[in-house]
Structure 1
Amino acid sequence: MEITATAGPGPRQAVVTLHGELDIHTARDVRETLIATVAVYEDTVADLTGLDFCDGAGIGVLVATRNAARRHGHHLHVRNIPGYLQLLLRATHTHLADTSPSPPDRAHIGVPENTDAATPTCEPPPGQL
């Protein structure tokens, strides 16, 4: 797991980018970095663009970080959530603050690349908010 934390773009903002696998083996280091960041910065972005895998321990890290941010009166924004993780979060009724998903990844949800089947999404049906 590679964790990159950078300050900015604003004076009270930080971006933490994760690359690799967020699982039982890497959760402690990621948790320490994220919780330390949300304690200092009012707005923290967790960018999951490079996240290859996330298990229950990883989801626990994201929830703990969200809770820590709220305790400090700060905000956690999770962006570029891989499709497989969007589906897992939805299936487990896990809500992360201020999330902005990326399109579901066909390879992680068992839909062949060369198919005309509709891609599942995490969006509610029209008119059901």
Structure 2
Amino acid sequence: MTSNGLHLDVVETRGPLAVAAARGEMDLHTVAGFHPQAVALIDDHPYVILDLSGVTFCDSSGLNTLLRLRRHADENGGRLTLAAPAGRIMRMLRLTGADTVFPLYASVTEAKAAQPPDIR
């Protein structure tokens, strides 16, 4: 799935769990198309691990989109987990305090291992 330079690739799905990779820049111009794609994924698989290793930039619009997706997953009885944020993205998550509201892991493998046994 592509949205003006921001790509969402579904890597794996298993029951309620999906692993997806975001690639590109998360900004005002790209999140408008990305958000509905991610919402549709959460609707189908309420537990989503979002691999951020391919995200090269994230502004306040991107952060707001991640927070909205987190709320959507919570409202659907699931969880949005962030994995492998690059240095700049991790710094932004820490500076804003968002690292305290998301389950956050250094890799997709760690994020998968941390899922409840009935979800993995």
Percent of counterpart pairs with the same letter? 25
* Alignment RMSD (CA, Å): 1.6
Higher relative contact order (CA 8 A, sep 6+): 2
Following superposition, which runs of at least 4 residues in structure 1 exceed 2 angstroms of deviation?
Answer: none
* 80, 83, 86: which one aligns with 2:87: 83
- Contact 1:16–1:34, Cα closer than 8 Å, also in 2: no
Task: Pick which of 44-53 and 30-39 moved more.
Answer: 30-39
Q: Deviations over 1:68-126 (max 9, x none)?
A: 00011111111011111111111112234211136xxxxxxxxxxxxxxxxxxxxxxxx
* 62, 69, 84: which one aligns with 2:73: 69
Structure 1 or 2: more helix by fraction? 2
Deviation at 1:14, TM superposition (A): 1.1
Aligned equivalents of 2:42 and 2:48: distance in 1?
A: 6
Q: What residue in structure 1 maps to residue 10 of structure 2? A: 5
What are structure 2's unaligned runs of at least 5 residues? 1-5, 108-120
Change (3 A) 1:26 1:80: same
When normalised by structure 1's length, the TM-score is: 0.71
Q: What residue in structure 2 maps to residue 31 of structure 1? A: 35
Aligned equivalents of 1:91 and 1:42: distance in 2?
A: 27
Alignment map for 1:1-129 (pairs within 5 Å)? 1-8=6-13, 10-94=14-98, 95-101=100-106
